[in-house]
Structure 1
Amino acid sequence: MTPGRTTENAVLAGPLVLFLLAILGFPAALSLVYGFSDTSFETLTSPEFSGLKNFRDVAADPTFWQAAWFSLRFGAITAVLQCGLGLALAVYLAPLVRRHGWTVAILIIPMIVAPAMMGLMYRLVLHEFAGPVPHYMYAWFGWSPAFLGPANVFKTVIVAETLQWTPFAFLLFLAAYQSIPEDLREAAAVDGTRPWRLFWKIELPLMLPTVFVALFVRFIDGFRVFDNIYTLVGAGPGGSTTSMSIYIYETFLRRGEIGKAMAAAILLFLTAFALLAVAQRLMKGRAR
């Protein structure tokens, strides 16, 4: 690349860099300051440097580790379920979508609804005393589980998250499946390859990069989940559905421990950054 072209690219990218620094740089720097300071709402404008005290407090807080364990399980389980269902739907419905493209608009409706609204909807539908699902289950079968109770709340939020975001994985896998050259399928059919063997030996290996990206994206999104769980059940019975984001929110706004909340947010960011770095290394290794 010539020096003139480099200077031109720098000039063109300058406004974007300045915009990102203004929008993201200041909040990030302020979060770092608060994370290493003894800060509350009373001392918000004059934080006192406290070193690693906030990080030690976070590490000694059992609620933080409970939230981290919940986020890890929730992110992993929902990512696997969403990608598994999305892959199955993409392969099974590909002929239908090829003939009637408008069906995709119907299939992605759950993804369009705001997560907070989806959580409120499930809360109304599954409420133990006022929800129609428990009412009719008890009327028809004489029994209804407490969907939002301690024994079932984790399964409930897993199902709610999976139902809403499976369409996202479906779209990714449908695009990857339709991008496979038809020549490969025709050649395999001429050789007498059965559909299942065609999928496992040809189609799925070609879709593996998309599968990996979808798993990673859905895991990160599940790990930092907040709005739909918070509107559905809040922190849950005994804090059983407290994710990392909910932990940070309640530490910041409900308890006023701003420095501790920022320290937890920094740890969450570093964890996400480390996962992204590992994912990029794995993808590069596979590309080689």
Structure 2
Amino acid sequence: MPLTVAVQMDPIAGINIAGDSTFALMLAAQARGHRLFHYTADQLNWSDGQLWVHARPVEVRAVAGDHFTLGDPVRLDLGDEADVVLMRQDPPFDLGYITATHLLERISDRTLVVNDPREVRNAPEKVWVLDYARFMPPTLVTRDLAEARAFLDQHGAIVVKPLHGNGGKAIFKVDAGGQNLSALIEVFNMTWREPHMVQAFLPGVAKGDKRIVLVDGEVAGAINRLPGEGEIRSNLAVGGSAEATELTPREREISAALAPELRRRGLIFVGIDVIGGEWLTEINVTSPTGIVAIDRFNGTDTAARIWDAIDARLAARGA
């Protein structure tokens, strides 16, 4: 059955269609006959129990430089006129993002929001993962320089990163001597009000950081992301490269441990990051990526699999 799908994302003109997961989802939806609308999170409006946007009908095509056509804006009631909302704008996970989840939660009894907005709000990538500390590298969450120094003394080399960062931005390695640690913590404390994440440096990152995609709790595929020259960061957004990979027994154990909670929370499309085949570092639920590269290496169709999971959720709701 054709669906009305509202896609809450960043401006479509600026995306890289060669690797953009949201664009892949839109292509797959359009192939099924679904009607697509595009809007950005700052266009949400609420009044008298209604949540609406001035959205634009959109057609997409896999043609670089000519990948979309937008129609004229229409007033779209997301609670009564949309079947599915894809919440796909990129972080930062700031008050704007959180407010969007609060507003979308108010229609989630009528419209399927993917991922579930309440659970996205309750599961920031580097905070929810603390529930699975048994799979994580040694980790400290702090703003305190003395605590960071003690952690460095214990582990020899550390990585410091923003607790709500994304895309590999502002990740720093500090070696055993601790040079510049005090200045780094000072800058972090001036930049962010929340604590920061400090982790033992894992030399295995040189062999890659694996992105594993789970669809409604089931492993759909994975890629291994390799750091660029002179980098410790393997994120594709900062120059990393991807290669085909298989899951280790430990990675399968981690995925199986997460699966029941992902299903319960309505987190249909999730990407987890694992270093060295054994260390879980993030659970990405806000706007996960990686499906285009996974499908290119594996000959799979993860976008279609995600839409199958959406259809199953709609059927279970009696839509």
RCO comparison, higher one (Cα < 8 Å, 6+): 1
More strand by share: 2
Larger Rg: 1
More helix by share: 1
